[in-house]
């Protein structure tokens, strides 16, 4: 009976060690990701965008700012000027996003201000004359509407 009990203890000890190993491995992975995010942000990179994302997925060395900076410069040709060019804080990124959104709104307003109906007024007038079969009243009415349309366009 003592051999069976020793074997059960041995089997229980192995499963406990495996569970502890899995727990420590997951904790190590979380801490490494956190350290990588901190190091990347100190370099002015974001771990979920662009070069920062590529570095966080591919880099497997020591998680120090200098080591990551050296890796990024070797692998991606990232120099000091590229690092400084990216927004370094959430506030700067927010300003950039607001500027882009404002530019898009201005572009939309400009597109709305330009008439998509590029029909020439004279072409419309000629079409009305053809349909009226030479009726003087219809041609005078069309000419007056055309003059009013030109006047409204000039006022805008």
33: CB partners within 8 A, 6+ apart: 47, 56
The end-to-end CA distance of the chain, in Å, is 101
CA distance linking residue 126 with residue 122, whole number of Å: 6
48 with 33: CB under 8 angstroms?
A: no
Give the model's pLDDT for residue 55: 85
Q: What is the pLDDT along the chain (156 residues), one digit of tens a residue?
A: 556 655 655 666 788 888 888 888 888 888 888 888 888 888 888 888 888 888 888 888 888 888 888 888 888 777 654 444 444 567 666 767 777 777 777 777 666 665 545 456 677 777 777 776 767 777 787 778 878 877 887 886
Domain spans of the chain, in order of start: 2-89, 121-155
Residue 134 carries which DSSP code? T
State the pLDDT at residue 29: 84
The predicted structure's pLDDT at residue 150? 78
Q: What is the pLDDT of residue 45?
A: 84
Q: How far is CA 45 from CA 32, 55, 76, 82, in A?
A: 16, 10, 13, 10
pTM (whole model) above 0.85: no
CA 49 to chain CA centroid, Å, is 9
Looking at residue 85, its pLDDT comes to 44
pLDDT value of residue 84: 43
Separation CA 153–CA 64 (nearest Å):
65
3-class state of residue 44 by DSSP: coil
Q: What is the pLDDT of residue 131?
A: 74
């Amino acid at each position: 009976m003592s051999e069976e009990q020793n074997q059960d203890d041995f089997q229980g000890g192995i499963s406990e060690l495996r569970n502890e190993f899995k727990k420590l491995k997951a904790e190590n992975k979380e801490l490494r990701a956190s350290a990588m995010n901190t190091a990347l942000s100190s370099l002015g990179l974001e771990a979920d965008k662009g070069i920062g994302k590529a570095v966080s997925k591919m880099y497997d060395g020591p998680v120090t700012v200098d080591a990551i900076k050296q890796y990024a410069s070797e692998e991606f040709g990232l120099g000091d000027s590229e690092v400084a060019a990216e927004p370094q804080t959430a506030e700067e990124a927010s300003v950039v996003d607001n500027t882009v959104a404002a530019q898009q709104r201005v572009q939309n307003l400009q597109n709305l201000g330009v008439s998509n109906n590029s029909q020439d007024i004279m072409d419309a007038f000629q079409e009305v004359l053809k349909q009226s079969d030479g009726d003087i009243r219809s041609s005078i009415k069309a000419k007056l509407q055309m003059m009013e349309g030109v006047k409204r366009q000039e006022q805008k």
